Structure 1
Amino acid sequence: MFIVLLGAVIPRVLSAAPPAQDGLELMRFKASEKSEAMYILRATGCREAGDTCRLELELSEGTDGTRKARLPDGMAHGLRKESRGTASSGSWTSGEEEQSVTTSVQPVRLEAGEWGLLVTQQSGFEHVHRRHRLYAVKDGGVTEAWNGDENFAGPETSHVGPYPLAPGSPVEGFYREYAFLSADKESGEPDQWKLDAYRWDAAGRKAVTELQHRPERHAAIIGSFKTAQEAIAYRDGAQLEQACASRFLVLESKPFKRLTPGLFIVTKIHPEKTASEATLKKVGACNPKVSGYVKAL
C-alpha cells in the first residue's frame, strides 16, 4: 500500500499521473477493443488536507468534454491506493473510521469489443454501507447504466462482479450478491440472501436481468429445521469458543427451487463447490459434532 498525495508528483507510480488543471488521473481502463478509447478515473476539486475530492469518470476519446460521470461519494484528500486486485482493476481508500471511503473499480466485458466498469464505494466503520454502479459508453461519453445500492437499514453486506455468460464466450454478465444479517435470538427472524444477475442489452444500451445463465452458487449446509428459532439456536450452539460457525446464515429454504420447502437452513454460500466442501471440513474440524452436505442453489 502506498499514498498518493493530491497535488504532488509521485515517482514510480504507474497508475497515477501528475495532476493537471482538471484533477489527478488515478487510473485508465480499457473502454473498447475496436479503438484506443479509455475510461479515465480522476480525483478533482481538492489540493490540500480538509478538501473533499470529487471522483469522475470520463472517456479519453469523448466527443463532448462535459459528458462525464460523477461517482456518488467523494473522498478525503490523500487517497491511498490498495495493493490488492488485478492489474486491470484498482482500489483507493481515504479517511478514517466513519469518514473512511473505499472506491473499487473492476472491468466487465459487456460486448465482444466493449467494456464497462463496475464501481463499488464502501463507506463507514462500525456500520459499513456500499454503493454499486455500472458505467458504460453512450453517445460519446460515460453514463451510469445501472445501480444497486444497499438499503442502509441495518447489518448488511453485498458485492458485485463479472461472470461468463457461457463457456468460451468473451461476453460477461455481472451479479450483485446481497445478504441482510437479521437472524438472532431477539428477532427470531431468518437472514436474507439474494443473488441478482444482469447482462448488457446492446440495442437498448442498458443492463437487463439475466434469467437463464446465472452464476453458480453452492451452499454448505450444516442443519435444516422447521423454525427459524431452532436454526438460530443450532448455529449459535455450534460456535464454541472458536466461532466454528462464524458467518453462517440462517435462510428460509422456500426461495431456492432445489431445496425442500418449508425449512430453515444453516448455511454458508460460495461460488465454487470445492470452497463449500472446504467450509464443511473446517467447521467439522473445529466442532466434531457438526457435519453437513453441499447443495447447488
Structure 2
Amino acid sequence: MGQRAAAGAALLVLLGGAAPPAQDGIELKRFKASEKSDAMYVLRATGCRKAGDTCQLELGDGKRKVTLPDGMAYGIEPGALDSWTSGEEERNVTTTVQPVRLEADAWGLLVTQEGGFEHVHRRHRLYVMKDGGVTEAWNGDENFAGPEQSHVGPYPLTPGSPAEGFYREYSFLSAEPDAWKLDAYRWDAAGRKVVKELRQRPARYAAIIGSFKTVQEAIAYREGAQQEQVCAAGFLVLASTPHKRLTPGLFIVTSIHPEKKSAEAALKKVSACNPKVSGYIKAL
C-alpha cells in the first residue's frame, strides 16, 4: 500500500498541473473491500483533459463501476484524511470518503460530496461490493430547500463487535421551529441491503438552556441569550414531542452533542458568555 500511496500522490500532482491525465483516468486512492480477498474500491477521476474541464469521480475495479453525483473541476487537490477538493466559490466541490465495516470481513464506503458557496449542500451515498462490482446501497441527500446541515459517519453497533452501523444527522434551520433528526442504519447481510437500526443507535446529548410552551417564546429567549457576543450560537429551537426522553408539548433551546462532556462544555461556554443563562443535560 505504501507504493500505491506514493504513486497516487504523484498522480495528484499531475492532475493539478499542466500534464493531462491518462486515458483511463487518474487513480486517487484504493480502499479495502474485503478481509477475505484482495477486492478493493478504486476511486478515479476521469473525463478531464485540460483546465476548465470537469472530472467525473468513479468507484470501480470490478464488473461494475459507479459515478459519483457531482463532478469536480480539473485541478483536484488532496485535503485532510480521505478528501479531495476542487473549484472556487459556487463551483467548489469536496468529496470525502469514510470506510465503514458493514460485516466482520466486508467494508462499505460512505461518500459525501458537498458544494456551494453561500449555501453549502451535501449528497451522501453508501457504496458496497456486489457480484464483483460496486453498487449504490443507500443515499441520504439534503433537500436543497434552504439552510440545511447534515453529516454521516460509522459507529459501533455493539461493544466488541467488529461490524459497524452508520448514521445521518440532519438539521434544518427555520423559525417554525428548527428541525433536527438522527437516523441510524446497519447492513443486513442476509438480505444484502441497508435497513434502519432502531435499537442500537448512536448516543446524543442535548444541552438545554430553556423550555417554553410556544415556539415564539423559545425563539425570543434564544435571541435574548445571544447578546452582542452571539453567546447562544449553534443553539436550535426544537419541538420536544418527537423525542421520547423529553417532556412532550414544549419547545426547547438546545444544542446537540455526541458526548455528554461536549454538551457540558457547551453549557459552560454559553454561561461564561452570558451569566444569566444556565441549563441542564438530557440524553436523547
Same fold (TM over 0.5): yes
Alpha-carbon separation, structure 1, partners of 2:182 and 2:155: 13
Give 1:35's aligned residue: 37
Mapped to 2, the partners of 1:4 and 1:190 lie a distance apart of 47
Q: What are the superposed Cα offsets for residues 232-257 of structure 1, whole Å, 9 maximum, x if unpaired?
A: 01001111111110010000000000
Q: Residues 109-128 of structure 1: matches in 2 within 5 Å?
A: 109-128=101-120
Shift of 1:7: 7.5
Number of corresponding residues: 274
1:53 pairs, out of 52, 55, 65, with 55
Give me the whole-angstrom Cα distance separating, in 2, the residues matched to 1:231 and 1:8: 53
Helix, strand or coil: the match of 1:234? helix
Aligned to 1:208: 195
AA of the residue aligned to 2:160: G
The aligned counterpart of 1:244 is 231
How much has 1:35 moved relative to structure 2? 1.2
Task: State whether residues 100 and 125 of structure 1, in contact with CA within 8 Å, keep that contact through their aligned partners in structure 2.
Answer: yes
Structure 1 position 275, deviation (Å): 0.4
Matched, 1:257 2:266: no
Among 10, 23, 26, the alignment partner of 1:24 is 26
Counterparts of 1:102-113 in structure 2 under 5 Å?
A: 102-113=94-105
Residue in 2 that maps onto 1:223? 210
Aligned residue number for residue 266 of structure 1: 253
Letter in 2 for 1:266: V
Deviation at 1:283, TM superposition (A): 0.6
State the partner residue of 2:69: 72
- Which amino acid is the alignment partner of residue 201 of structure 1? D
1:198-246 per-position Cα deviation (integer Å, ceiling 9, x unaligned): 0001122111001010000000000000000100010011111111100
Residue 6 of structure 1: SS of its match in structure 2?
helix
Aligned counterpart, 1:186: none
* Per-residue CA distance 1:34-82 (angstroms, 9 max, x = gap): 11211110000002101000000013xx2x2xx1011000000001111
Shift of the alpha carbon at 1:134? 0.1
Identify which of 6, 25, 31 aligns with 2:15. Answer: 6
Unaligned runs of 5+ in 2: 1-9
Counterpart CA distance in 2 for 1:174 and 1:7 is 33
Aligned to 1:148: 140
Partner of 2:6: none
TM-score by length of 1: 0.89
Aligned to 1:192: 179
List runs of 5+ in structure 1 lacking aligned partners. Answer: 11-17, 184-188
Give the conservation status (yes or no) of the 8 Å contact 2:52–2:73.
yes
Q: Which runs of 4+ in 1 moved over 3 A?
A: 2-5, 7-10
Using the size of structure 2 for normalisation, the TM-score is 0.93
How far residue 4 of structure 1 moved from its aligned partner, in angstroms, is: 3.7
1:101 is aligned to 2:93: yes
Q: Which residue in the other structure is 2:79 paired with?
A: 82
Cα deviation 1:2-45 (Å, max 9, x = unaligned): 974417699xxxxxxx9543100111111111112111100000
2:126 corresponds in structure 1 to 134
Equivalent position SS for 1:238: helix
Q: Contact 2:16–2:76 (CA<8 Å) still a contact in 1?
A: no
Relative to structure 1, is the Cα distance of residues 19 and 35 closer, same or farther in structure 2, using a 3 angstrom cutoff? farther
Instruction: Find the aligned partners of 2:242 and 2:18 in 1 and give their Cα distance.
Output: 53
Q: 3-state DSSP class of the match of 1:78?
A: coil
Which AA in structure 2 matches 1:57? Answer: L
Contact 1:111 1:171 in 2 (8 A): yes
